[in-house]
Amino acid sequence: MNISIIAEQLVNEKVILHYPKSMRVLSGGTTSTVYLLDGQYVVKLNESQVIREEAYFLQFYESKSYGLLSVGTVFVTSVCGILFAEKGFTVIPMAVTAVYLLTLIGLLIENKKVDHYQQKSA
């Protein structure tokens, strides 16, 4: 798709205030075409399926809950393994289950916020 058409759509959708005066192609470690508009906005062009998958990945990347899952799992297994070495086969699974439960609660809260924002902006 042409960047001029996309820039016009961004103005029409009120994502940006005015049609960009400068549009520069960026290069780097991506297979997509990436533009810098007015030195402030980055627009990435790619196949719709690729963009959809990248947006899906960003949900994980930006999620505090998934950060809790990765850091929390390592932390509780390490601490429980050191402090409760004799009872590790029972304490560690229970501690990891607690981390997973907290992650689930966090994800539910994050999804409610996203749903609320989407309903509000629709």
pLDDT per position as a tens digit, 7-43: 999 999 999 999 999 999 988 766 788 999 999 999 9
* All structural domains of the chain with their residue ranges: 3-46, 63-121
In the prediction, which pLDDT does 6 show?
92
**Calpha distance 56→50 (Å, rounded):** 10
pLDDT per position as a tens digit, 15-25: 999 999 999 99
Taking residues 94-101, report their average pLDDT: 97
What b/e sequence results for 71-85 when a residue is b if at least 16 CB atoms lie within 10 Å of its CB, and e otherwise? ebeeebbeebeeeee
* The one-letter amino acid at 48: S
Taking residues 71-99, report their average pLDDT: 95
Determine the distance from the C-alpha atom of residue 74 to the mean position of all C-alpha atoms in its chain, rounded to a whole number: 21
Q: What percent of the chain has pLDDT above 90?
A: 57
The whole-chain average pLDDT of the chain stands at 87
pLDDT per position as a tens digit, 44-67: 888 888 888 887 777 777 789 988
Beta carbons within 8 Å of 82's beta carbon, 6+ residues apart: none
- What DSSP state is assigned to residue 28? S
Give the pLDDT band of residue 2 (cuts 50, 70, 90). Answer: confident
